[in-house]
Chain A
């Protein structure tokens, strides 16, 4: 498509619930990124894929966070046993040229109650 599409736009989860956030990158973009943006903060790097390979997951805050991109296109960020501190906007971006050519999606706002 023309842009990076993320779904759902909003998600409310009860503490302890598992959630899955979806990202559809721009067609042809081999690089895909996930960032977490807490309220009043700048985005923070979570993980990076090149095609289906997850090359960097150093930013994932705990082993409750898991990301996949099995066919090198759509990606899913899964959070198990959600906690209040997971409340944030999760941004997906795709790129053809590394950091020089990011296109961000509109994000998924996750609220854990």
Chain B
């Protein structure tokens, strides 16, 4: 089984400041890692994903994340945020295994990023 911990439930920042949203996971097997964003009253939109290869992953809207296997972390970063980045951000994992439940996403509880002017 997998679990995901998002250490901060809320992160307030000022516009144009850098931000880091933290994500740690636990799993007995290797996993794929994802960050999703959810704007109010909308579904989830994929920001970025780590499947293999370079541990630094770049996504949409200027976000990036770094996979650290030894620390079982996948923190999300943006060097300069905009008001429009205000949303809920979810970290998620799915197990890498053939014939198993590799279709299932396990989510963290989310981090509400609020960007203030």
A residues whose Cβ falls under 8 Å from a Cβ of B: 4, 31, 33, 35, 40-45, 48, 56, 91, 93, 95, 98-100, 102, 104-107, 109
Per-position binary interface string of chain B over residues 19-50, scored 1 when its CB falls under 8 Å from any chain A CB and 0 otherwise: 00000000000001010100001111110010
Which residue of B32, B90, B104, B107 contacts A100 across the interface (Cβ within 8 Å)?
A: B32
B residues whose Cβ falls under 8 Å from a Cβ of A: 4, 32, 34, 36, 41-46, 49, 51, 90, 92, 94, 101-110
A99 adjacent to B105 (CB under 8 Å): yes
Identify 11 residue pairs between A and B in the complex whose beta-carbon atoms are under 8 Å apart, listed by A's number: A33-B103, A40-B109, A45-B106, A48-B104, A99-B34, A99-B102, A100-B49, A100-B51, A100-B94, A104-B36, A109-B41
B102 adjacent to A106 (CB under 8 Å): no
A56 adjacent to B101 (CB under 8 Å): yes
